[in-house]
Amino acid sequence: MKKIEAIIKPFKLDDVKEALNEIGIQGMTITEVKGYGRQKGHKEIYRGAEYVVDFIPKIKIEIIVDSSLADKVVNKIREAANTGKLGDGKIFVLPVDDVVRVRTGEKGKDAI
């Protein structure tokens, strides 16, 4: 099993969610996060006082899938979240040891 973590632009969340629904991904967890990469921050000026806003709001999506689906999911996210500009985000793929469904106690693949 794999965990896919994608950091994307907040306004792309709905597109990504729909794209993943199309390939049968049933659930995801999202978090509002802040960060910066090559996009860098932006400047705000109040009465001449310049403040650099380094951290830009982003959305982090976390999805657990069977290893065989991982590439497909990554591609779907990439397609849906792409604007072609700096700051579109990153996708990380991590191995997952086990998954447990709280309600039934099912384990592994069945619990996804």
Partner 1 sequence: MVKKISLILAMALLFPVSPGIAGEAVLDSGNTAWMIVATALVMVMTPAGLALFYGGMSRYKNLLNTVAMTFVSYCLGSVIWVMWGYTMAFGTDVGGIIGGLDHLFLNGIGVNDLSGTIPTFVFVLFQMTFAGITVALVLGAIVDRMKFSAWIVFAVLWLTFIYAPICHWAWGGGWMARMGALDFAGGNVVHINAGVAGLVLCLLLGKRKGYGREAMFPSSIALTALGAALLWFGWFGFNAGSQLAADGISASAFLVTNTSAAMGALSWMFAEWIFSKKPTLLGLASGIVAGLVSITPAAGFVNLFGSIVIGCVAGVLGYYCVSVLKHKMGYDDSLDAFGVHGMCGLWGALATGLLADPSINALGTGLFFGNPRQLWIQILSILGTASYTCVGTLGVAWVTKMITGGLRVEEEEEIKGLDSSIHGERAFEIEG
- What is the size of the binding site for partner 1 (CB under 8 A)? 10
* C-beta of 37 vs 57, nearer to partner 1: 57
Alpha carbon distance 80, 47 (integer Å): 40
Q: Which amino acid is at 46?
A: Y
State which of residues 22, 24, 38, 47 lies at the interface with partner 1 (CB under 8 A): 47
Position 14 contacts partner 1 (CB under 8 A) = no
- What are the strands, taking DSSP E only, across the chain? 2-8, 29-35, 42-46, 49-53, 56-65, 89-95
Q: One symbol per residue from 51 to 90: x for binding partner 1 (CB under 8 A), - otherwise; what is it?
A: xxx-------------------------------------
Q: Which two tokens stand for residue 59?
A: 């959305």
Tell me the closest approach of the beta carbon of residue 44 to partner 1, in angstroms.
7
Alpha carbon distance 2, 66 (integer Å): 6
Contact residues toward partner 1 (CB under 8 A) are 32, 44-49, 51-53
